[in-house]
Chains A and B, each alone.
Chain A
Amino acid sequence: MTDFDRTIEAIYREEFGRVVASLVRRFGDIDIAEDAASEALVVALERWPVDGIPPNPGGWLTTTAGNRAIDKIRREKVRHSKHEAADMIRDDSPHEPIGMVEDDQLRLIFTCCHPALAPEARVALTLRLLGGLTVSEIANAFLVQETTMAQRITRAKGKIKAAHIPFRIPDASDVTDRLGTVLAVIYLIFNEGYLTSSGEPIRADLTDEAIRLGRIVRQLLPHEPEVTGLLALMLLTDARREARVADGELVILTEQDRSRWDRALLAEGNALVREALAPGVPGPYVLLAAINALHTAAADPRDTPWERIASMYDHLHAISPTPIVALNRAVAIAEVDGPQVALAQVDELPLTGYHAWHATRADFMRRLGRSDDARIEYDAAIAATDNDAERRYLARRRAQLG
């Protein structure tokens, strides 16, 4: 592959979601849209090296893909003489102005993240159709066989068609928390990149994609605090990416080299947190973002405002009483009230086998001088994670026990 091909592929990846979303609106069919978008890439790889990259590559790809789709529908029409096929061809709508295209993307995100689809299918479909990742890339990211992932995606697309899941932005009367489902999918993609369950410490392709999707949704729904909160949360987390791993070993927040944090991302994240906190009672993503803002505001980790962080976690636990939130709150409580109090809270949580639970207990026990107990917990934490960087960190901590 030449550098120019790579440039084309990069443009294609960037535009893919927009092209597919616009074609789905026009043809009402994901398979037709996806196939046509792929064909447009083949044409681009042929033509752009000769003709140069067009001034509006997204528009060019959409038009080319649209023409391919119409050709295909005409051919199928001859074979099957389907009524819908005839209807689709009559719709000769041109490449829409930008506002419309963004609506198309939002519609498609809501469809991909529909609660009637299995959670793992929502993630896969979103990465495929909005992110433009290939099936094999998605399969790699989630450590499943490519055939399994292909089946998962095919099944989900089949259900969208058979059950008539609409391509529509849900209205306020929708019975389920549709926006929450979309945000959960994006955050899951981010976390799979940031807290990867594979050997690599960080999968930047996934964190970058999640942030890109977060930016799209924020652009489309700028007045939803939780949308802003999620983007802020991801930016404030991603800003610490470089400092989070050193010499292949995980570095915990309070031990990170803060000069390696990305100042621009932190500034953007902080501005978004302020904006998201303004409207009133904050939701879970806004609270998590605010907690991260407090963590990153201190130039010296010793200046971390643990009491305010613990109180934010109290708020979060009140609206989202999950064991994971309780575990994170206990880390702040350990700083305010000491590890004894925190350990008592953590012991009750039903998180056996969860690596962070064992690692947190190990840390509290270490601080309480209970080395033998801590050693057992470090072993359990090491056994429970596949992330090499984290295992190295835990192993070093274990070796340092008295």
Chain B
Amino acid sequence: MTQYMFSVIHGDLDYTEDEFAQIVKDVDAFNTKYADITVFAGGLEAPQNATMVDGTGGTPVVTDGPFAETKEHLGGFWVLEIADLDAALKLAAEASKACALPLEVRPFQAEPPA
């Protein structure tokens, strides 16, 4: 089993209330259906609510985020336990449909051998 991260890629979103309610419903349904393989899932607050912390120097430097101003940003993600990429792509297609946004599918690194 491999852990895959499905990153939800947001642009500027403009939903009607009904559309948004439908998305929430569909994402909930997906989460319930795949609860047993879900490691973590969640949506992120908007990038303007991010804070940068740089602790690499002497005193940690805290600045208003985000790390990079981009047109598209990470809106949320799932981490799921899946057998292989084909199975992951199948689930990703379902998840993308549910949240009405494209996803990036990326495997986590295997644990280094002890």
The chain A residues found within 8 Å of chain B, CB to CB, are 80-83, 114, 116, 162-166, 168, 170, 173-176
- Give 12 pairs: A residue, B residue, CB < 8 Å, sorted on A: A80-B113, A81-B113, A82-B113, A114-B85, A116-B85, A116-B89, A164-B2, A164-B88, A165-B86, A166-B84, A166-B85, A175-B93
The dominant DSSP class at the A interface is: loop
- Give the shortest distance, in Å, between B30 (CB) and chain A (any CB): 15
**CB-defined contacts of A162 to chain B, threshold 8 Å:** 107, 109
Is A165 a contact of B85 with CB atoms below 8 Å? yes
Is B85 a contact of A163 with CB atoms below 8 Å? yes
Q: Is B71 an interface residue (CB 8 A)?
A: no
Chain A residue at minimal CB-CB distance from B110: A162
**CB-defined contacts of B113 to chain A, threshold 8 Å:** 80-83
Is B107 a contact of A170 with CB atoms below 8 Å? no
Is B85 a contact of A174 with CB atoms below 8 Å? no
**CB-defined contacts of B84 to chain A, threshold 8 Å:** 164-166, 168
B 47-88 binary contact with A (CB < 8 Å = 1; else 0): 000000000000000000000000000000000000111101
By size class, the interface of chain B is: 10 to 19
Is B85 a contact of A164 with CB atoms below 8 Å? yes
**CB-defined contacts of A116 to chain B, threshold 8 Å:** 85, 89
The chain B residues found within 8 Å of chain A, CB to CB, are 2, 83-86, 88-90, 93, 105-107, 109, 113
**CB-defined contacts of A170 to chain B, threshold 8 Å:** 86
**CB-defined contacts of B86 to chain A, threshold 8 Å:** 165-166, 168, 170, 174
**CB-defined contacts of A114 to chain B, threshold 8 Å:** 85
**CB-defined contacts of B88 to chain A, threshold 8 Å:** 164
Is B93 a contact of A163 with CB atoms below 8 Å? no
Is A164 a contact of B107 with CB atoms below 8 Å? yes
- Give the shortest distance, in Å, between B33 (CB) and chain A (any CB): 16
Bound together, the chains give a CA A148 to CA B59 distance in angstroms of 44
Bound together, the chains give a CA A173 to CA B86 distance in angstroms of 10
Bound together, the chains give a CA A163 to CA B4 distance in angstroms of 9
**CB-defined contacts of B106 to chain A, threshold 8 Å:** 163
**CB-defined contacts of B93 to chain A, threshold 8 Å:** 175
Bound together, the chains give a CA A346 to CA B77 distance in angstroms of 47
Bound together, the chains give a CA A118 to CA B22 distance in angstroms of 34
Q: Give which listed residue, A82, A83, A168, A173, contacts B90 with CB less than 8 A.
A: A173
- Give the shortest distance, in Å, between A257 (CB) and chain B (any CB): 49
The listed residue with most B CB atoms (<10 A of its CB), out of A81, A114, A116, A163, is A163
Bound together, the chains give a CA A341 to CA B90 distance in angstroms of 46
Known contacts A80-B113, A162-B107; A175/B85 CB under 8 A: no
- Give the shortest distance, in Å, between A260 (CB) and chain B (any CB): 46
Chain A residue at minimal CB-CB distance from B86: A166
- Give the shortest distance, in Å, between B79 (CB) and chain A (any CB): 15
Chain B residue at minimal CB-CB distance from A176: B89
Chain B residue at minimal CB-CB distance from A114: B85
The listed residue with most B CB atoms (<10 A of its CB), out of A81, A163, A164, A170, is A164
The 9 closest A-B pairs by CB, nearest first: A166-B84, A164-B84, A175-B93, A165-B85, A163-B85, A164-B2, A163-B107, A164-B85, A175-B90
- Give the shortest distance, in Å, between A132 (CB) and chain B (any CB): 26
Chain B residue at minimal CB-CB distance from A168: B86
**CB-defined contacts of B89 to chain A, threshold 8 Å:** 116, 175-176
The listed residue with most A CB atoms (<10 A of its CB), out of B84, B85, B88, B90, is B85
- Give the shortest distance, in Å, between B64 (CB) and chain A (any CB): 35
- Give the shortest distance, in Å, between A373 (CB) and chain B (any CB): 44
**CB-defined contacts of A173 to chain B, threshold 8 Å:** 90
Bound together, the chains give a CA A303 to CA B110 distance in angstroms of 64
**CB-defined contacts of B107 to chain A, threshold 8 Å:** 162-164
Bound together, the chains give a CA A116 to CA B93 distance in angstroms of 13
